[in-house]
Amino acid sequence: IYIASDDPGQIKEEISKYPVGDAGNLILPGVDECHGLRFYLREDSTSTEFMKKGSTSDCSIQYRRTISSVADLIILSKSSTFIIGEFGSGFGRLVRTFRAALNDFPGREEEGPVLVRDTRVVWGKPHPGPPGM
């Protein structure tokens, strides 16, 4: 499972609470070891603090974080399932947009004019709506 987060430290702390099996996979309570999970987090921070005016970050840090954010965007937009906490960020909305396609498939007209690959929202509205709402 690939995780893109603006708080990777918190995510790592939560993941560390699960037991680890012989193969290095996490073991979930009530699930046998052959169904363990492995999580992947980008090592550098995904913080957007460097994008704000007056940032003291040097250009190489900004460049590395920008390229990493683009990589996150590509990985998440091409994933088989995209799970998002909520559509409160522009990044999540952008991923959803890249996962959408016009519905020009014969026999699928009843599904609406736009199809969005498997996207699941943990809490909040299942559709992002207009920005700021």
Instruction: Using DSSP bridges, classify how beta strands 114-116 and 2-3 pair: parallel, antiparallel or unpaired.
Output: unpaired
- Cα–Cα distance measured from residue 61 to residue 55, given in angstroms and rounded to the nearest whole number: 11
Letter string b/e over residues 61-74, b meaning 16 or more CB atoms within 10 A of that residue's CB: eeeebeebbeebee
Give tens-digit pLDDT for 63-86. Answer: 887 888 888 888 888 888 887 777
Give tens-digit pLDDT for 11-22. Answer: 788 888 888 877
Which residue has 């954010």 as its token pair? 69
Give tens-digit pLDDT for 40-54. Answer: 776 655 455 545 555
Tell me how far CA of residue 42 lies from CA of 6, 35, 70, in angstroms. Answer: 10, 23, 12
Structure tokens at 29: 């309570």
- Cα–Cα distance measured from residue 71 to residue 55, given in angstroms and rounded to the nearest whole number: 23
pTM (whole model) above 0.75: no
